[in-house]
Amino acid sequence: MPRLGQYGMHFSPDHQSFVQLGSSFYTHLSAQSLSSPYWVGRSRSVAKALGLEDNWLEGDEALRALTGNALLPGSQPLASVYSGHQFGQWAGQLGDGRALLLGEMRDAQNLPQEIQLKGAGHTPYSRMGDGRAVLRSSIREFLCSEAMHGLGIPTTRALCVTGSDTPIRREEIETAAVVTRVAPSFIRFGHFEHFAYNGMTEELKKLADYVIDRFYPACKDAANPYAALLEAVSERTAKMIAHWQAVGFCHGVMNTDNMSILGLTMDYGPFQFLDAFDPNHICNHSDDRGRYAYNKQPNIAYWNLFCLGQALLPLISSDGEPDLAVAALEPYKTIFPAELHARMSAKLGLPDAPATESSKAVIEGILKLLAKDKVDYTIFWRRLSHAVATNDFIPTRDMFLDREAFDAWSLSFHEHSAQIPCRPDADLMLKTNPAYVLRNHLGEQAIRAAKTKDFTELERLQELLESPFTEVTGMEAYATFPPDWASTIEISCSS
């Protein structure tokens, strides 16, 4: 594995596990360089987690290597092949069209982590794309990766963003950027679909065995290891989606090739944290049919798991009967609602509250009120936390047009609390309901400044998002209602 310390990242070719799967899984190629790279953003917490020396991330070697202009010692860059369903339709072969896996290293806790560049140039899987990423989308991915980690949501991480004045054409001419992404693995549902749909059962088994050996070793002892793998992935995915729904996060493009086999949030494109609470909200301007609307995310996740089950079926059942695969998906139907109930109960300051008719009514009641009056989701929960702490509910009540309806809900909330052993825990609420989330307009402000090579706004926002439950004096503007122009921001698949 890489040798860490004052020299930064080094990779040992003898221990690059994904490479050992064989040439059917990837293509070796080098990144395409960018002219005059510069630092845009860096995550000290990711560098620390990787065991890197702080000064390495300041140096020219790191800048060049993490832009794709120089090869790190021992690196064998590759782009992996996968397929997938996009917007519900089989899209055939896809793959890392603008991403390169540099290699694998051990982090500060001796756990394996893959290092990947996104935006490093054209690959055999780019199809009609140029293999590049633009500054705008790279900043959004960098900030959201770290924001999700700060919220405690399973996610890939982002070590840094580098930029270049190299022009890139999207809807308009923009400039290039590269994100360095970090995760134990970037394997997707689509990797399994690729080999299954191409009848490559030997490679499918090799991939499944690899994932089980490295990430789900308990499955090896199951009566059917591949059904156990599907069940374990279903459980992790259910927990991840419950996190999303509770915090008001919309992914925007939940294609099967954007779903992590490890239950990590990945591929941050047209995402959004809800402003006004609207269960039907569609954050992706390209999603004209609303397939990936906020309230559809739980069912889409199950649909994607069903696709994964179909891909694994040749390994699960020798006669092609789907019974075991379908059974392996069943835990999702119980784990997701249980996890979501637990997270919503924590938002109400009621940990370990049983899922009774009373508790469900309280949760459903407030969500209906929030939707009816289009109340700001994040601010409501934060104000409610302070209200429980101070017993002053007026600022929370004033967020509703129908104040009498809120009063009735508040009464039911207190009556429900009186029926259970605990009372609402304000400290828990303040540690569960964030003060800061990456709203679209906050990201847009950081992007606009970064286009002039002013990164102070990005750094300030990054710092707040890394500790989203800690209110900082003087930073109230980052925790208040979005401006009117925020509703005009359109985020699409090109974002």
The string over 328-346, giving b where at least 16 C-beta atoms fall within 10 Å of a residue's C-beta and e elsewhere, is bbebbeebbeebbbbbbbb
- H/E stretch holding 175 reads strand 173-183
Is residue 196 predicted with pLDDT exceeding 90? yes
Same domain, 201 and 288: yes
End-of-domain residue from the set 430, 459, 485:
430
Prediction pTM value: 0.96
pLDDT value at residue 157: 98
- DSSP conformation class of 104: E
pLDDT band at 189 (very low <50, low <70, confident <90, very high): very high
Same domain, 114 and 257: no
pLDDT band at 5 (very low <50, low <70, confident <90, very high): very low
Report yes or no: 478 and 378 within 8 Å, Cβ to Cβ: no
| Distance (Å, whole) CA 325 – CA 331 | 11
Give the number of C-alpha atoms closer than 13 A to the C-alpha of residue 74, restricted to the C-beta side.
17
- DSSP conformation class of 318: T
**Mean pLDDT within 285-293:** 95
Same domain, 170 and 44: yes
The C-alpha angle 296, 379, 413, rounded to 5 degrees, equals 80
Instruction: Name 112's bridge partners.
Output: 106
In order of 133, 136, 398, 489, the CA distances from 483 in angstroms are 28, 20, 19, 11
pLDDT band at 15 (very low <50, low <70, confident <90, very high): low
> What is the C-alpha end-to-end distance of the chain, expressed in Å?
35
Q: Which two tokens stand for residue 441?
A: 């307009």
pLDDT value at residue 352: 79
- DSSP conformation class of 78: E
> Is residue 152 a part of any domain in this protein?
yes
Strands 157-169 and 38-42: antiparallel
Same domain, 210 and 233: yes
Q: Which two tokens stand for residue 448?
A: 């606009």
> Is residue 485 a part of any domain in this protein?
no
Same domain, 41 and 159: yes
pLDDT value at residue 284: 96
Report yes or no: 82 and 257 within 8 Å, Cβ to Cβ: yes
Same domain, 359 and 272: no
DSSP string, 1-54: -PPPSTT-----GGG-TTGGG-GGGEEE-PPPP-SS-EEEEE-HHHHHHHT--G
End-of-domain residue from the set 143, 166, 186:
186
pLDDT band at 451 (very low <50, low <70, confident <90, very high): very high
Strands 112-118 and 133-134: unpaired
**Mean pLDDT within 231-257:** 98
Is residue 386 predicted with pLDDT exceeding 90? yes
Taking each helix axis from N to C end, the angle separating 297-316 and 323-347, rounded to the nearest 10 degrees, works out to 150
What are residue 209's phi and psi, to 5 degrees?
Answer: -65, -40
Same domain, 90 and 222: no
pLDDT value at residue 39: 98
Instruction: Name 162's bridge partners.
Output: 39, 178
Q: Give the gyration radius of the chain's Cα atoms.
A: 23
Is residue 124 predicted with pLDDT exceeding 80? yes
Q: Does residue 352 carry a catalytic annotation? A: no
Model pLDDT for residues 354-385, shown as the tens digit of each residue: 888 889 999 999 999 999 999 999 999 999 99
Residue ranges making up the domain that contains 249: 190-344
Lowest-confidence region among 4-13, 246-255, 283-292, 317-326: 4-13
Residues with Cβ within 8 Å of 321's Cβ and at least 6 positions away in sequence, in order, are none
A 10 A CB-CB count for 200 gives: 15
pLDDT band at 421 (very low <50, low <70, confident <90, very high): confident
Q: How many domains does the chain have?
A: 3
Q: Which two tokens stand for residue 59?
A: 């140096």
> Is residue 1 a part of any domain in this protein?
no
Name the catalytic one among 107, 257, 373, 425. 257
Instruction: Name 160's bridge partners.
Output: 42, 180
Please state, rounded to an integer, the average pLDDT across all residues of the chain: 95
> Is residue 169 a part of any domain in this protein?
yes
pLDDT value at residue 7: 47
pLDDT value at residue 318: 87
Report yes or no: 168 and 57 within 8 Å, Cβ to Cβ: no
| Distance (Å, whole) CA 411 – CA 362 | 10
Percentage of the residues of the chain whose pLDDT score is greater than 70: 98
| Distance (Å, whole) CA 355 – CA 143 | 35
> Is residue 397 a part of any domain in this protein?
yes
Same domain, 312 and 372: no
> Is residue 303 a part of any domain in this protein?
yes
Lowest-confidence region among 67-76, 180-189, 191-200: 67-76
| Distance (Å, whole) CA 106 – CA 365 | 47
Same domain, 309 and 207: yes
Indicate left, alpha or beta for 5 from its phi (over 0: left) and psi (-120 to 50: alpha): left
Same domain, 339 and 219: yes
**Closest among 436, 443, 422 to 480, alpha carbons compared:** 436
**Mean pLDDT within 379-408:** 97
What are residue 280's phi and psi, to 5 degrees?
Answer: -90, 10
pLDDT value at residue 320: 82
Q: Which two tokens stand for residue 62?
A: 């790191």
> Is residue 200 a part of any domain in this protein?
yes
- DSSP conformation class of 481: P
> Is residue 3 a part of any domain in this protein?
no
Model pLDDT for residues 51-97, shown as the tens digit of each residue: 998 789 999 999 999 999 999 988 999 999 999 999 999 999 999 99
pLDDT value at residue 1: 32
What are residue 269's phi and psi, to 5 degrees?
Answer: -115, -100
End-of-domain residue from the set 400, 430, 460:
430
Q: Tell me the one-letter amino acid at 214.
A: R
* Burial class of 35 by CB neighbour count within 10 A (0 to 12, 13 to 18, 19+): exposed
Same domain, 17 and 165: yes
pLDDT value at residue 13: 67
Same domain, 134 and 33: yes
